[in-house]
Amino acid sequence: MDSSSEADGSGLRIALVTATRDRRQLFEALVEDLKHTEWPTHVSWSWHVSDDASHQTTFYGFQQAVNTMIPYLDGPVTIWRNSEALGCDQNVVLAVYRELTDDVDWVGVVDSDMSLHPLWATKLIESIEWAAKEGIELDMVGAFNSAMHGTGSALRPGLVEKGSIGGPCTFIRASLLRSERLSQRVGPTWGKGEPGWDWKLVDAVKKKGTKMAALSPSYAQHMGRVGAHAPAGRGPYDQANDFIGKG
């Protein structure tokens, strides 16, 4: 997509991806927030859920919840189930690249345990459009301004530059994903002594010299310690600095 099209969002296609593994109650809460999301109508939206071999009964519940989203988006709403558990990181990567068709401009990773303000998608699209108009090369932008990732100066009111950014609710430029080809590295050695998928992309952005940013205040938050990013539920876990609330 050329910069003029991205600047006004016309023809922009966003493929949303969510990885699941059990935790049905949290996922169903996410779906309710997605139903209350104000989706910018000048953008095309699809949603793909990739389940990492949850129990069949749980997966059936996921299917039912996913199907209720069909009327809300103009693009495909689909769900996939891995035949065996791959682990969260690999599941996310394979889901992302499954949706990375030639006409996709950005992939939005939305964790299954996120609480969302209705304007989260609108604010991210506004940030992408603004960056294009200003000639700013933005490769990753998130609705979740994590306290665990350093924050730089404000790019504009409501948007701050990040030194690194995680993947809980983050839009990633498709061209970055295509150039990194992370799906080709999935396998038995994945994650052994190397960073996760989001850190691999952070490193790629730093090498390119482009920018990462997050909304501030945040328009997404983890639902709580259960399911959030903390080792065995201990110690500090990944929370947004300044969640605006659910509206």
* Weakest mean pLDDT among 39-43, 195-199, 206-210: 195-199
Identify whether 242 is part of a domain.
Answer: no
Identify whether 244 is part of a domain.
Answer: no
> Residue 91 has what pLDDT?
92
What CATH number corresponds to the domain at position 166?
3.90.550.10
Please spell the DSSP secondary structure of the chain, one letter per residue: --HHHHHHTTT-EEEEEEEE-S-HHHHHHHHHHHHT----TTSEEEEEEEE-S--HHHHHHHHHHHHTTGGG-SS-EEEEE-SS---HHHHHHHHHHHS--TT--EEEEE-TTEEE-TTHHHHHHHHHHHHHHHT--EEEEES--BTTS-EEEEEETTEEEESS--STEEEEEHHHHHHH-GGGG-STTTTSSS--HHHHHHHHHHHHT-EEEEESSBSEEE--STTSSSGGG-S----BSSB----
Identify whether 239 is part of a domain.
Answer: no
SS3 of residue 173 by DSSP: strand
Residue type, 103: D
Percent of the chain whose pLDDT exceeds 90: 68
Quote the number of domains for the chain. Answer: 1
> Residue 230 has what pLDDT?
46
Domain that holds residue 63: 3-233
> Residue 228 has what pLDDT?
46
Q: What is the pTM of this model?
A: 0.91
Identify whether 26 is part of a domain.
Answer: yes
Identify whether 238 is part of a domain.
Answer: no
Percent of the chain whose pLDDT exceeds 70: 87
Q: 24 pLDDT band (50/70/90 cuts)? A: very high
> Residue 188 has what pLDDT?
64
Identify whether 59 is part of a domain.
Answer: yes
Q: Quick one: average pLDDT of 193-198?
A: 74
Identify whether 83 is part of a domain.
Answer: yes
Q: 224 pLDDT band (50/70/90 cuts)? A: low
| Tokens, residue 192 | 């052994």
Q: What is the mean pLDDT of the chain?
A: 89
> Residue 189 has what pLDDT?
61
Identify whether 111 is part of a domain.
Answer: yes
SS3 of residue 140 by DSSP: strand
